[in-house]
Amino acid sequence: MWRTFREYGYFTAGAIPDWRDSEVTASSIGGWTIVIAVGSLAVGTGQVTAADTDSDRKAVEAVCGRCHTTGLFLKQRRSWARWNELFADMMERGADGTDDQLDGVSRYFLENLTLVNVNHSPAEELSGVLGISGDVAEAIIARREHQPFADLAQLREIKGIDPNILEQRKNRILF
Ligand code: HEC
């Protein structure tokens, strides 16, 4: 269960940098504008196909909509560590799903509801939130080790980054 989340290692104490402790709600970072931007992403870019997004969204409904409405969290934005704490909590309350469904939930949360810190987050989170391959995520990490990123413009210079995705997800990208 939740193998995907566990693989990222966030159930290990001490692996969580300070910035993750703050929970950011949608209203404090622009709320509806983000929701609309994310919605148009599925239609606007080839990277995320409508079919993938639909099936991930269905997985969220199936896994997380069983006991309460998904409206409870769809407008929230949290770090991946914070979401994993919530997943663990919900699991204790009885949340479950097939491996495919849990993968879909992971993907949906990373692509749509998760905050990332370009100067601190591990490769898996960079990949998931920014829609990039592992190699590009590693390029970000290599660059930040000698020169932290100051803004989106600097991030855009990394080869393999899709500027449209950056623009659409910019409210979830922290430095
Ligand atoms: C087996 C039933 C069940 C399932 C499945 C379930 N939840 Fe919950 N969830 C609850 C209950 C019960 C509460 C109320 C907890 C409380 O009152 O403190 C809750 C509360 C919440 C809250 C509000 C409290 C908080 O900590 O922010 C969020 C957000 C939430 N669930 C998200 C999710 C997500 C995401 C999933 C899917 C991964 C999920 N839930 C699946 C039972 C469930």
| 120 lies in some domain | yes
Number of domains within the chain:
1
**Nearest Cα residue to atom 2 of ligand 1:** 67
Domain presence at residue 38: yes
Q: Is residue 4, in this structure, part of any structural domain at all?
A: no
Give the residue, by CA position, lying nearest to ligand 1 atom 32: 73
- Quickly list H helices, 75-151: 80-92, 99-112, 123-130, 134-146
Helix (H, G, I), strand (E, B) or coil at 24: strand
Calpha distance 106→127 (Å, rounded): 12
Percent of the chain with pLDDT over 70: 70
Query: What whole-number percentage of the chain has pLDDT above 90?
Result: 68
Atom of ligand 1 nearest to the CA of 93: 1
Residue 39 domain-assigned (yes or no): yes
CA of 84 to the centre of ligand 1 (A): 12
Q: Ligand 1, from 23, 57, 68: best to mutate by most atoms within 8 Å of Cβ?
A: 68
The answer to whether residue 19 is domain-embedded is no
List pLDDT tens digits, range 90-131: 999 999 999 899 999 999 999 999 999 999 999 999 999 999
Kindly state whether residue 9 falls inside one of the protein's structural domains: no
Give, for ligand 1, the residue of 64, 79, 110 to mutate: max count of ligand atoms closer than 8 Å to Cβ: 64
Q: Which domain holds residue 164?
A: 24-174
Q: Which pLDDT belongs to residue 53?
A: 77
Residue nearest to atom 39 of ligand 1 (CA): 64
pLDDT per position as a tens digit, 144-160: 999 999 999 999 999 99
C-alpha R_g of the chain = 16
In a domain, 5, yes or no: no
Categorize the per-residue pLDDT at 50 as very low, low, confident or very high, splitting at 50, 70 and 90: low
Q: What is the pLDDT of residue 49?
A: 53
Q: How far is the CA of 68 from the centre of ligand 1 (A)?
A: 7
In a domain, 16, yes or no: no
